[in-house]
Structure 1
Amino acid sequence: MSAWLPTAPCTPGACVKATRSAAAVPRAVLRLTAVLALLLAGVAVSPFGRRVPAGWIRRWCRAILRAAGVRVRVSGPAVPTGGLLLVAHHVSWLDVPLLAAVRPARMLAKTEIRRWPVAGALAARGGALFIERDRLRALPETVARIAAAMRGGSAVTAFPEGSTWCGRARGRFHRAVFQAALDARVPVQPVRIRYLEAGGEASTAPAFVGDDTLLASVWRVLSARGLMAEVEIRPALPPGAHPDRRTLARAAEPDDDAGACTGRVGLVGPSEPSEPSGPTGRTGPRVLARQAGHAP
């Protein structure tokens, strides 16, 4: 793996609270059956791709979340229509259906997602924009494709941290994807995601971090009781409100502090190289790569 790829300090052993209960097994099996049935329904309509009505996608994603035992609470203003960049901090594979339940969009995803069973095919047929993280020279072309999609009226969802975190801490937003919003002259829609336990404390059960497996993360979610997903839609950042991708990325981040994680506190992230200011200021592929974000 390339040294420039974003990483998080979160690991399953250090950050994720285990949910071990014999009573949870039957509940998890029933939920898994319901989720698989809904995924098969999605596979059945996936050949229609982006012709599937947005309202159907919203209802389908909400049904998946309910089947998995996750309640959803949405607050904030309505998400604008038309082309935009929707950005959020990244905790879990649950983030994807959660955001699609709010605003269906084309997902910016790492190419490895293509190989995931079921989810890979659904992502590709749904118009996902795949990024090859190990090819530095491909990144400017990817930024151009994202801009073209948004310029054409599509919403694009991205996780600019470039890596999943456990939910008790988070990383800085990397800047490359924000250049696409500047080039397309579309708004940026920041969204804050929080997962809570039944008692209202932050939950790490949905986390998909470090060397965790997808199966282990899915099982924790299905086994959890009273899991709540909070989606806070923050005010959209209109085009032209920020002169360059650095200030735009910072404006899109939540302004509150995250908790401690493996000895690191609050918003943390690797240092980033300097760049020229201006909405269309270009840098080489290596600098853009350091500033890239991707889906889980």
Structure 2
Amino acid sequence: MSVWLPSAPCTPGACVEPAGRGAAALLGAVRLTVVLALLLGGILLLPLGRRVPAPWVRRWARTIAWAAGVRVRVTGSAASTGGLLLVANHISWLDIPLLAAVRPARMIAKAEIRQWPVAGPLTAGAGVVFIDRDRLRALPGTVAHIADLLRSGAAVGVFPEGSTWCGRAQGTFRRAVFQAALDARVPVQPVRIHYRLADGNASTAPAFVGKDSLLASLWRVTTARGLVAEVDVREPIPPGTLPDRRALAHAAQPTTPPAAGRTHAVLAS
């Protein structure tokens, strides 16, 4: 098992709700077309990287959720400037635009994406940080590179679980990336992402797990009814408050959903 890719037990057949049918499928087809167009547009703009104004990136991220029929509720906020390690649990492809709605960041991705047609070269040109999870010798250099980005004032986004989970279960935050925040002496911003239905019950429809395909996951999201994404931006952990990366990873891992009755800012509906 790769250190960077822990094995999640979640699978589409065992954990994920089926896609909608009938009228939901017709609406889902329209939504899916719009979402794919927005994703393609975002990919084509990736080479512009940080030259795209942050408000435009946030607006694009919110529009993806809106086009997919997902209401987004955000609690809290992240600093808009300065080096910041943004960490979140990982459930879905939708998590990436949700983090961008909090604060646009340089994302960390698996090295295999670099080999993907079209998306690979474009993401590389956009400054995505790739991690080769099969080469532990490369780990110190990757951590040092992330620390340099943080020192320069960039925000870096990462999903430290190392794998997607269905949302009803979750993994443990891996510690290595937190060393970059310690070395750069920047805050760590924990974010908890949770998906619910309009009635308040948890939903696994957005999960992108196991051998699931991206298209199948997109279809489930766009055909779901009353899907709500809750993004709980928790208090940042200031630099120097914890002694090592193990303690920092443990403190940053959000394990509980937002408390009932808390005020949420609706970013997309």
Common fold: TM-score over 0.5: yes
The structure-2 alpha-carbon separation of the partners of 1:249 and 1:154, relative to structure 1 and needing over 3 Å to count, comes to same
Contact preservation (8 Å) 1:42, 1:122: no
The structure-2 alpha-carbon separation of the partners of 1:255 and 1:17, relative to structure 1 and needing over 3 Å to count, comes to closer
Gaps of 5+ in 1: 258-296
Question: Counterpart of 1:216?
Answer: 216
The structure-2 alpha-carbon separation of the partners of 1:102 and 1:155, relative to structure 1 and needing over 3 Å to count, comes to same
Paired residue secondary structure (2:256): coil
Shift of 1:121: 4.8
Contact preservation (8 Å) 2:77, 2:102: no
Contact preservation (8 Å) 2:43, 2:119: no
Instruction: Judge which range, 76-85 or 190-199, deviates more.
Output: 76-85
Paired residue secondary structure (1:45): helix
Paired residue secondary structure (1:170): coil
Q: TM-score, normalised by structure 2?
A: 0.89
Shift of 1:120: 3.9
1:1-296 matches, cutoff 5 A: 2=2, 5-79=5-79, 81-116=81-116, 119-256=119-256
Q: Aligned equivalents of 1:108 and 1:4: distance in 2?
A: 12
Contact preservation (8 Å) 1:107, 1:123: no
The structure-2 alpha-carbon separation of the partners of 1:80 and 1:41, relative to structure 1 and needing over 3 Å to count, comes to closer
Shift of 1:256: 3.2
Q: Which amino acid aligns with 1:182?
A: L
Shift of 1:135: 1.1
Q: TM-score, normalised by structure 1?
A: 0.82
**Deviation string, structure 1 residues 167-188 (Cα, Å, up to 9, x no partner):** 0011111100000100111000
Percent identity, please: 69
**Deviation string, structure 1 residues 127-172 (Cα, Å, up to 9, x no partner):** 2100011111111111111111111111000111111100001111
Q: Aligned equivalents of 1:185 and 1:249: distance in 2?
A: 15
Contact preservation (8 Å) 2:43, 2:123: no
Shift of 1:200: 1.1
Gaps of 5+ in 2: 258-269
Q: Aligned equivalents of 2:19 and 2:80: distance in 1?
A: 38
Shift of 1:122: 4.9
**Deviation string, structure 1 residues 193-245 (Cα, Å, up to 9, x no partner):** 00111211111001011121111111111111111110001000000010100
Q: Which amino acid aligns with 1:57?
A: V
Question: Counterpart of 1:260?
Answer: none
Q: Aligned equivalents of 1:79 and 1:116: distance in 2?
A: 33
**Deviation string, structure 1 residues 33-72 (Cα, Å, up to 9, x no partner):** 2113323433453332221111111101111111111111
Q: Aligned equivalents of 2:234 and 2:212: distance in 1?
A: 30
Contact preservation (8 Å) 1:79, 1:233: no
Shift of 1:118: 5.5
The structure-2 alpha-carbon separation of the partners of 1:121 and 1:31, relative to structure 1 and needing over 3 Å to count, comes to farther
Q: Which amino acid aligns with 1:193?
A: I
The structure-2 alpha-carbon separation of the partners of 1:117 and 1:230, relative to structure 1 and needing over 3 Å to count, comes to farther
Q: Which amino acid aligns with 2:223?
A: S
Q: Aligned equivalents of 2:233 and 2:213: distance in 1?
A: 29
Contact preservation (8 Å) 1:83, 1:155: yes
